[in-house]
């Protein structure tokens, strides 16, 4: 058991579209509610939480009664703009229920590369966390297409969550998806795939078995989650990849139980 997980105080949680939207395109109200409950409970315990949430396009598709994500980038951006406010409305309703304040923070991947912007973003996070407000981060899809055009770029919310985790000096990054963790092959294609409970290093072997997205709405698949995990490992931080079907799984993770896949350097694996 790693005490660093139990003692983790500043935690970034990333939730993917596949956890927030049912395969039929409808909003998964259960996930929204359990996520709000779990993060509110942890916030009340004094932990500092940042939620990185995808779902703007998924919610936008549902609102506009569309079955398929359009290929045109401008149309995806328009859907993200429609869906983002709806996404925040859903979060506001559920977090209000648990008496927790939230804030919307829209970022681009490069924002931290500019010292002034970086400082402004950090000031915002510092003030929000000091005031017990949970920032809910998404990429600003209107001005950035990192997440939308995977033919030319490979940015996405998995990596954005890792960038945020490293800049706010988070103790732990938890990535919630529609799989139980990282497998030795894509479990949606190969039913005999085995869950890997601990990963100490990421190289071509791991990338070799990480496939694309499994759902209609997810984007990066396992590749971008591994890139996020690699960034965490390189900085000697920890990441847990777990199933977001019931976000209360976060309580189990923070209790040190073995769920999902933990990415951590070998030196701390048995502390
Ligand atoms: N080795 C692997 N282990 C686990 N999942 C994998 C693997 N390779 C590919 N995948 C796929 O990655 C998907 C999760 O990524 P994605 O669809 O982008 O979800 P999210 O919306 O949560 O970001 C899984 O549903 C699965 O189909
Ligand atoms: N900004 C986009 C996020 C796209 C994305 O990274 O999605 P996912 O693979 O579900 O985490 C949206 O909110 O739809």
Q: Where are the domains of the chain?
A: 10-263
What was the pLDDT predicted at 150? 45
Residue 109 pLDDT > 90: no
CA–CA gap between residue 5 and residue 41 (Å, rounded) = 17
Measured from the CB, is residue 243 less than 6 Å from ligand 1? Answer: no
pLDDT band at 267; cut points 50, 70, 90: low
List binding-site positions for ATP: 14, 177-178, 219-225
Centre of ligand 2 to C-alpha 139, Å, is: 8
**Ligand 2, closest atom to CA 79?**
14
pTM of the model: 0.94
Residue 107 pLDDT > 90: yes
**Using an 8 Å Cβ cutoff, are 91 and 28 in contact?**
no
Buried b (16+ CB within 10 A) or exposed e, 230-241: bbbbeeebbbbb
Centre of ligand 1 to C-alpha 188, Å, is: 8
Where does ligand 2 bind, in terms of residues with CB under 6 Å?
Answer: 16-18, 54-58, 80, 138-139, 141, 147, 156-157, 218-220
CATH number of 10-263: 3.40.1160.10
Regarding an ipTM greater than 0.90, the answer is: yes
Measured from the CB, is residue 219 less than 6 Å from ligand 1? Answer: yes
């Amino acid at each position: 058991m790693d005490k660093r997980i139990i003692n983790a105080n500043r935690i970034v949680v990333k939730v993917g579209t596949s956890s927030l939207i049912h395969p039929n395109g409808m909003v998964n109200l259960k996930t929204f509610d359990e996520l709000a409950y779990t993060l509110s409970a942890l916030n009340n315990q004094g932990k500092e939480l940042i939620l990185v949430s995808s779902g703007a396009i998924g919610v936008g598709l549902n609102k506009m009664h569309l079955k398929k994500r359009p290929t045109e980038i401008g149309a995806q951006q328009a859907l993200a703009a429609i869906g983002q406010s709806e996404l925040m409305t859903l979060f506001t309703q559920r977090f209000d229920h648990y008496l927790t304040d939230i804030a919307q923070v829209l970022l681009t991947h490069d924002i931290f590369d500019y010292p002034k912007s970086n400082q402004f973003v950090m000031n915002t996070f510092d003030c929000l966390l000091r005031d017990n407000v949970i920032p809910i981060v998404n990429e600003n899809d209107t001005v950035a297409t990192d997440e939308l055009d995977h033919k030319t770029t490979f940015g996405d919310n998995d990596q954005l969550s890792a960038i945020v985790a490293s800049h706010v000096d988070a103790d732990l990054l938890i990535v919630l998806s529609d799989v139980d963790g990282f497998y030795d092959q894509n479990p949606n294609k190969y039913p005999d795939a085995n869950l890997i409970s601990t990963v100490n290093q990421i190289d071509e072997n791991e990338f070799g078995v990480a496939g694309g997205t499994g759902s209609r709405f997810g984007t990066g698949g396992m590749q971008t989650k591994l890139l996020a995990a690699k960034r965490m490992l390189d900085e000697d931080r920890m990441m847990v990849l777990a199933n977001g079907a019931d976000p209360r799984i976060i309580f189990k993770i923070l209790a040190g139980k073995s769920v999902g896949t933990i990415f951590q350097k070998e030196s701390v694996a048995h502390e």
